[in-house]
Structure 1
Amino acid sequence: MDEEAVSSDVENGEENQDEDEEAVEVRPLDQDIIIPGLSLLCRTGNGLRHAFIKVVLKDKRLSDMAAISNYIHLRFMDVSNNRISDLSPLSSLTQLLWLKMDKNYVTCFPGQTFSQLVYLQWLSMAVNRLTVVEGLVGPALESLNLSGNRIQRLNGFESCLFSKLGTLELRGNRLTTTNGINLPNLQRLYLAQNLITSLEGLEKLESLTTLHLRNNKLGNLDGLNANMKCLQYLNVRSNDFLDETCLRALGLVSKTLRVVILSENPLDGTTDYRPYVLTLIPKLERLDKEPVSLEERAEVWKAIKELKEETG
C-alpha cells in the first residue's frame, strides 16, 4: 500500500470511530457467525485430527469475541472493522501466527493476554483507541502496526519483549518524541503524521534501514546518530526545517544513506538545498523525487576535494 493510501485509511478510520455508536446495531459473536468464516482445514498437532486454522470475521458489527476462545487451533484471524474492545479471549488461541484487528474499539492491552501468544509473528491493530503500549509483548513478532491510534508515549518497546521485531508502524498517533524505542534489531520504523518535535533515543536503533517521519513538527535533525550504521532511507517531508543548518546532522549517517526526502519543508521555497545535502552525503542516490546524476556527483566530489586543499 502506498503512503497516500495509508494516510487516507488512518484518517477515514478515525472519522468512522467518531460516529454515533448507537447508529449501528452491534451483536456478540456466536457459532452462526463463526462457522461461515472458517477455512483452511489442517491436521492438528498429533496428526490424527483436523481443524480449521483460519477465520475471517470482518464487518460483522461484533461487540465481543468471547466465543472464539474455543477455537484453539486458529493460526490466522481477521476481525477488522467491528466494535470489539476486549482482547482477553485471545489468550486461549496459543497457536496464532497472524492477527488483524484494525478498526475496532480497543483501548489497552490486557495483562498476560499476549504473553500467551508465543508464536504470533504479525499483528495489526491500526485505527483503534489505544493510548499506551504497555501490556503488549511479542517474543516472535516480526511486524507490528499500531497506526491511527491515540498513543502519546512509547514506553514498553524493549528488546527483551520484542527481540525479533523488524517493522514497527506508528503513523497517525500523538507522539511528540521518538524516545522509548529500545529495539536494536528493528529495521523499519514508520512515524509519519505525529507531533514529533525532537529526535531522541535513535542511537539504540543500530539495525534501522528505513526511518519515516513525514508530517511532523521537526525543526532540525539533531538526534541522528553515527550508531545508526545501517540507515539507507530517510523521509522527513513536510516538517519545519527553515534553512540548511537544520540538516547538518545528516553528515552523521552519510556513510549508508542512499535516499533522503526533504520536500515540502519551509526551506524548499527559499533555498536550493540540493548541493548542500549532496556535499554532506556524497554517495546519495536520490534526493526527493530526483535521482543524483553522475554529473552532480562529480561536481560534489570536486567541491569536496577543493575544500580539503584550501583547508590543508
Structure 2
Amino acid sequence: MAGGEENGTEGSPGEPLPPPDEPPQPRPGPPHREDEQEEEGEEEEPERSEAHLEGVLDEDTAAEGLHTFGRSAPGTEYVYLHLSLPGRGLSDISILSGYIHLQKMELSSNKINDLSCVSHMPYLVELDASKNQLTTYFDFKAPKNLKSFNQIEKVDGLKSLKSLQRVDLSNNKIKSLQGLEEHDLLEMINLENNQVAEVSELKWIKDLPLLRDVNLLKNPLQEKEGYWLSAIFMLLQVTELDLKKVSVEEKVAAVNAKDPPPEVVAAEDHRTHLLCNARQPQGLLDSTLPGFDEPYPMLVLLGPVAGGRRQLSLKICRQFKNFFRFGPCHTTRTAYFGEENRFDYYFISQEEFDKMVEAGKFLATYKYSGHSYGLGRDTVESIAREGLATCVHLEIEGVRSLKNTYFKPRYVLLVPKDKWKYGEHLRRTGLFSRAEIREAVARVDTYLQINQDFPGYFHAVIYTDELEQAFTELTHLVKVYLGLEPPDSLDIQGTNSGAGSRNQLFPEEKSSPGQGTPRRSRTPSSGDILEPSAQTYPRELLEMLTAPPGSVEEASLQRRFSAARQRILFHSSREFGRLRGRFSVPPGAAPARAEQVVWTKFPIPRRHLPGKARAAGKGVDTSKEAGENLLRKSSKAKLGSSPVLPRIPPGQTNTNP
C-alpha cells in the first residue's frame, strides 16, 4: 500500500507514463551556453554581409581576386602577384596596404575615392582604377602604367610621379594638361573623351622626349581649324596621333605651315614673285642685255642693322660713280632720323607694299623686326638701263630670297667684331628699343655662324668696327672685282688682325699630304662664277650639276641661246656700249690676265666690230670678183648721171674712171 501511495504521489492519476526507451525531455529553463554562441554567430554573419555590401574590402573578398602565383620581386618567396576585383562595388580598399608584393591591380568599375593604399606597394607596375569616383590623384608612388576613367578635372597630382610610362586618362573631365610636364619616361597618353578645348594645352607635353602615342579623340580642340597640323607641329616626336600614324610628309607640312625654315620662306616668296610677275605683260629686261653668258653685275652688302652697310654702300657708289648706282629698297617702316625718301629707302605703307607684291614688282622681299622690305624690279632695271651696275644693302633674309633669282651678285658680309661696342653704338643712336638691340647683337653670331657652316655663302667678310678701314678694304676689293687692280695684294689668308680685316675672299686649296703651306687657289674668273665645279657643293649635287645634258636638253638650250643672241644683237641701245667701256681696264693700266677680269666680258654690238668682221658677219663677199661685179653694175648707169658706188672694201683697188 505504501508503494501504491508512492506511485500515487509521483504522478497524477490518468497521466500516462513515458515509455522506458524514450530519452527524457529537458525541463524548461535558461538556454544552454552553446545555443547562445550559435545564435550570436548567426547574428554576426548578417552584420558582416551588410558591411561587405557597404563596399569595405575584406580578406575573403581579396583572396577571391588574387591570381598569378609566382616569385616576388626580390625573388625570396612565392606570392600572388595580381589582384583583379572589377565591378565589386568597393569603396574602401585600405586593407590592401598589406599586400606589398602586388605588381598588377585591376579595380575598375567600383566606388573607390581613395587610392592611398597604393603607396605601400613598391613593386606595382600597372594600375587600372577606371570608372570609379576619383576626383584627384593622391600622393603615392605611381606605377609605370596608370589607367583612370573617373571624374578627374585636373592632373596636378601627377607632378611627383616621375616613373610613369603609360597613362590612360580617358573618360574624365580634364581641361588642362598641366601636371604632365617633366615626365621624361612617358611613352603613351590617352586623353580620349575629355574636355581639352585649346591646342595650346599641348605645350605641357611637347617636350617629353619619349612620347610616341597621344590620343585626343572626342575633345573640343579637334573642332579647331587646322587642328591636325597644329597638333603635329606641337608634338613632332609622336608617331601616332588620335589612333592614326603620323607620316614624315605630314610633319614637314606642319613645320612649313607653322614655323618654316628661312630657306622655305625665301623659296615661297620667290615663287610668289614669279607667279605674280608672270601675269603681267612681259618684255626684254635691260638687266639681261650685257651678256647671255655673264650675269648682270650686282654688289650686295649685308650685315646687322646700323652696322655700317648703309654708309659703305653710299660711299662705294660715290667712289665708283661710273660703275655703280645705289638701289634703294622699299620698306613699310618709318624713316629714321637723317634718312630721306627715295634716297635711302622708298617708304610706303603696308597696303601699297602688298599691291606691289600682287603686281609682281619685286625681285626679293623679306621681313625684319615686324616690317616688310623689298628690292624692286624697276629699281634694278632703271640702273641697268643707264649702263651701270647695282649696289644694294640687305639683311640675311633678303639675301636668301635674292639667291633664288637668276641674278648672281657678289655678296660681301659687313659685321662688327666687338659686339659690346656694337651694342653701345646702337644705344647711342636712340633709335632702337632694348629688345631690338638684343636681337641685333644676337644676329652678329648668326651671320658668323652662317659663314662658318656654309663656306662660300659670302664672297668676302669685312669687319666694320672702324668704318674708314673697312671702306679702304671694301674699295680695294671692288677694284679687284672690276679688274682695276690685280688680286695678288689681297690678304686672302686673313692674317691682318685689324678691325676691318677680311677673313675670307676666295676659296683656298687644301694642302696636299706631305707638303708644306697650302697653295693659293687660282683667282676665280668671270666664267668661274657660273661654273659648278668651281663652287663648294656636296659630291652628289656636283655630279648632278656637271652631268652632260641630253640631246633634247641640248637642242632646247641651243634654240634659247640662239633666240636670245639674235634679240640682243639687234637691240638698238647705246647704253651697253658705255657699260662695256666703263667696266674695261682704262688706257695706260697694266693689262690683266683673262682669268683676273671680273664683270668685264660682255657681247660687243656689231656697230663696234671692225670692218672685216662686220662685213663677214653680214655675209658680204670681199673678194676681187665682188669688186668687178660692182664696176660692171656701175657701167650700166644712165648717161649724164654720176654713178653712186658703194664703199670699196679694204684691200681692193679703185678702178673707177
TM-score of the two chains, using structure 2 as the length reference = 0.29
Residue 134 of structure 1, aligned match among 89, 94, 99? 94
Match of 2:227 in 1: 273
More strand by share: 1
Matched, 1:155 2:116: yes
Superposed, 1:1-312 pairs within 5 Å as 87-89=58-60, 97-98=67-68, 119-137=79-97, 138-158=99-119, 161-183=120-142, 186-192=143-149, 194-226=150-182, 228-253=183-208, 255-302=209-256, 304=259, 306=261
- Is the 8 Å Cα contact of residues 166 and 187 (structure 2) preserved in structure 1? yes
AA matched with 2:213? V
Structure number with larger C-alpha Rg = 2
Q: CA RMSD in A?
A: 3.4
Task: Describe the superposition over 1:90-139 as per-residue Cα deviations: whole angstroms up to 9, x where unpaired.
Answer: 79x8xx7539xxxxxxxxxxxxxxxxx98220000111122133221332
Which residue number in structure 2 is paired with residue 113 of structure 1?
none
Structure 2 residue matching 1:157: 3-state secondary structure: helix
SS in 2 for 1:247: helix
* Aligned AA (1:283): Q
**In 2, Cα distance between the equivalents of 1:252 and 1:132?**
38
Structure 2 CA distance, aligned partners of 1:164 and 1:201?
A: 20
Between the aligned partners of 1:169 and 1:125, the Cα distance in structure 2 is 10
Structure 1 unpaired stretches of 5+: 1-62, 67-83, 100-116
Question: 1:297 offset after TM fit, Å?
Answer: 2.2
What do residues 261-284 of structure 1 show as CA deviations (whole Å, max 9, x unaligned)?
001111222333222222222121
Query: Shift of residue 145 of structure 1?
Result: 0.5
Q: Separation in 2 of the partners of 1:90 and 1:150? A: 16
1:55-97 deviation per Cα after TM superposition (whole angstroms, max 9, x unaligned): xxxxxxxx99x9xxxxxxxxxxxxxxxxx97733479x8xx75
In 1: Cα distance, 2:130 partner to 2:260 partner: 41
Deviation at 1:252? 4.1
Tell me which moved more, 121-130 or 244-253. 244-253
Runs of 5+ unmatched residues, structure 2: 1-44, 49-54, 70-76, 266-367, 369-438, 444-657
Give the SS at the match of 1:245.
Answer: helix
- Greater per-residue helix proportion: 2
> Residue by residue, what CA displacement relative to the aligned partner does 1:239-265 show, whole Å, maximum 9, x if unpaired?
111221233212242x11101000111
Task: Indicate the SS of the match to 1:121.
Answer: strand
Q: Work out the CA distance in 2 between the residues paired with 1:89 and 1:260.
A: 40
Does the Cα contact within 8 Å between 1:169 and 1:190 map onto a contact in 2?
A: yes
> Aligned partner of 1:164: which letter?
Y
Letter paired with 2:155 = L
- Indicate the residue corresponding to 2:313 in structure 1: none
TM-score (norm 1): 0.58
Change (3 A) 1:98 1:247: same
* Matched letter for residue 122 of structure 1: H
Give the match for residue 3 of structure 1.
Answer: none
The separation in 2 between residues aligned to 1:147 and 1:97, in whole angstroms, is 17
Structure 2 vs 1, CA of residues 209 and 240 (structure 1 numbering), >3 Å: closer, same or farther?
A: same
CA distance in 2, matches of 1:224, 1:174: 21
State whether residues 243 and 271 of structure 1, in contact with CA within 8 Å, keep that contact through their aligned partners in structure 2. no
Paired residues in the alignment total 207
Letter matched to residue 134 of structure 2: L
Give the Cα–Cα distance (whole angstroms) in 2 for the partners of residues 299 and 143 of structure 1: 42
Paired with 1:87 and 1:225, the residues of 2 have a C-alpha distance of 38
Instruction: Give 3-state SS (helix, strand or coil) of 1:220's partner.
Output: coil
Distance in 2, Cα, partners of 1:233 & 1:258: 6
Question: C-alpha offsets along residues 150-177 of structure 1, whole Å, 9 cap, x if unaligned?
Answer: 012322221xx21111000001101111
- The DSSP-based 3-state class of the residue aligned with 2:204 is helix
8 Å CA contact 1:224, 1:252 repeated in 2: no
Q: Give the 3 Å change call, closer, same or farther, for CA 290–174 of structure 1 in structure 2.
A: same
Contact 1:216 1:239 (C-alpha < 8 Å) held by counterparts? yes
SS of the equivalent of 2:261 reads helix
CA distance in 2, matches of 1:269, 1:292: 19
For residue 231 of structure 1, give the secondary structure of its aligned residue in structure 2. Answer: coil
Q: Tell me what 1:49 maps to.
A: none
Give SS of 2:83's match.
strand
Is the 2:230–2:254 Cα contact (8 Å) retained in structure 1? Answer: no
Q: Partner letter of residue 252 of structure 2?
A: A
- Among all aligned residue pairs of Structure 1 and Structure 2, give the percentage whose two residues are the same amino acid: 25
**1:203 Cα shift?**
2.8
Q: Write the letter of the residue equivalent to 2:131.
A: G
